[in-house]
Amino acid sequence: METFDVAIIGSGPAGSSCAAFCAMAGLQTLVLERARFPREKVCGDCLNPSCWLVLERLGLAQQIWGLPHSKLTSVDFIAIDGRKVSVNLPTGNDCELSIKRSLFDDLLLKRACELGAHVREGTTVTTLVRDQHWKIETATRESFRSRVLIGADGRNSTVARLRNLLPRPARERVALQAHIPLPLNFGDRVVLQFFPEGYSGQAPVNENELNLCLVGKPPTISRLRQWAQRQFEIPATQRWRTITPLTRSPIPCAHENLLFIGDAARVVEPFTGEGIYYALRSGELAARSIAKIISGEDRPLVLREFTYACAEMYRGRLWINRLARDAVLSPRIGSLFVHAARVNRSILKFLTAKIVSSKL
């Protein structure tokens, strides 16, 4: 059986970014992905401007512009009572853009393939055995071997679960998501709307479709769905994608010959729309560390550097995300914030600018 330098479990933005950078570095790279692409995901489909720098390094920025997308120019925050405040988003090539995950994730995975990564779709990892190397077994009873293993399999990471690292599931919120026909004159804006039961995010993803997300607690999420059905004239037969939990405790990202990246390592509150950036960037950072490990550099030092680099990636941003989490967990407080921002918009403008500023 061939032993790969690195096996990456999951090919969302984290796994594909990592695979592409590993392949670029000349590593024997294997990707095992449960789904068959292209596939949609529960997501707001918005790319934070920080993504552009990583996408440039992947050689994909131009290709993104060639796919159906929307360039987003402003965010509307809407309080429970319907009062609204608008904040402009960056313009030019450093903008916030929305694109369906079926297109975005497929492009990333194809890039990893093109650069030489071996990709197996429709392959669910079920068992991990650690001896000299990693032995990875799948639901279809295939086996693979690798020197380094990457958990890039999202918030409910199987890799973390199999290594007894996944935090116990809390009673958490649930998200529903659908693409629906774009309402007339919706414009190029993101809408973040508070409700007593939770919140809704809305953004056009192309000329014809709106991404609609609803986030709430299981007992009351059906009220949000009923609101959406009335508001957007959605038939009761509409199929919704669903995911839970919305957030969970992070797990340490560096272990001996095992790294976690993207949502598998840390799930942030989706309200600020940054998860894809963290996924892409942590994939890039992991690839750099794996190349060093495989070339024989001091492993404990490399792992410490990786942990530090991941912490740096979040530095100065996590507190805003936590603030957003507080606001969405208490939508009435979130609404009060919107009211205050109508009087003095400087704080909201500052927070929004921090979230959408580009970063290395």
Ligand X SMILES: Cc1cc2nc3c(=O)[nH]c(=O)nc-3n(C[C@H](O)[C@H](O)[C@H](O)COP(=O)(O)OP(=O)(O)OC[C@H]3O[C@@H](n4cnc5c(N)ncnc54)[C@H](O)[C@@H]3O)c2cc1C
Contact residues for 201 (Cβ-Cβ < 8 A; gap 6+): 44, 190, 191, 192, 193, 211, 212, 213, 215, 270, 271, 273
Q: What is the x/- site pattern for ligand X, positions 217-256, by CB under 6 A?
A: --------------------------x--x----------
Among 23, 32, 72, 228, binds ligand X (CB under 6 A): 32
8 A C-beta contact, residue 97 and residue 72: yes
By the rule CB under 6 A, 153 interacts with ligand X: yes
Beta bridge pairs of residue 180: 210
CA atoms of 223 and 99, how far apart (whole Å): 28
Report, in Å, the least distance between residue 333 CB and ligand X: 20
Q: Which is nearer to ligand X, 212 or 291 (CB)?
A: 212
Strands 258-260 and 254-255: antiparallel
8 A C-beta contact, residue 276 and residue 14: no
Write the DSSP assignment of 16-33 as a string of letters: HHHHHHHHHTT--EEEE-
Among 22, 46, 58, 191, binds ligand X (CB under 6 A): 46
Q: Which is nearer to ligand X, 108 or 115 (CB)?
A: 108
CA atoms of 131 and 183, how far apart (whole Å): 56
Q: Which is nearer to ligand X, 64 or 152 (CB)?
A: 152
Q: What is the x/- site pattern for ligand X, positions 164-203, by CB under 6 A?
A: -----------x-x--------------------------
Site size for ligand X, by CB under 6 A? 40
Among 86, 102, 124, 220, binds ligand X (CB under 6 A): 124
By the rule CB under 6 A, 279 interacts with ligand X: yes
Nearest of 227, 334, 221 to residue 271 by alpha carbon: 334
CA atoms of 251 and 322, how far apart (whole Å): 17
Q: Which is nearer to ligand X, 36 or 168 (CB)?
A: 36
Beta bridge pairs of residue 176: 214, 242
Interface region with ligand X, contact rule CB under 6 A, candidates 34-42, 166-174, 302-310, 332-340: 34-42
Strands 96-98 and 70-72: antiparallel
Residues 64-123 that bind ligand X (CB under 6 A): none
Contact residues for 199 (Cβ-Cβ < 8 A; gap 6+): 192, 193, 214, 215, 216, 271, 328, 331, 334
Q: Which is nearer to ligand X, 128 or 338 (CB)?
A: 128
Report, in Å, the least distance between residue 1 CB and ligand X: 19
CA atoms of 330 and 324, how far apart (whole Å): 10
Among 273, 289, 320, 352, binds ligand X (CB under 6 A): 273
Q: Which residues bind ligand X (CB under 6 A)?
A: 9-15, 32-35, 41-46, 48, 124-125, 152-154, 158, 175, 177, 213, 215, 243, 246, 262-264, 270, 273-277, 279
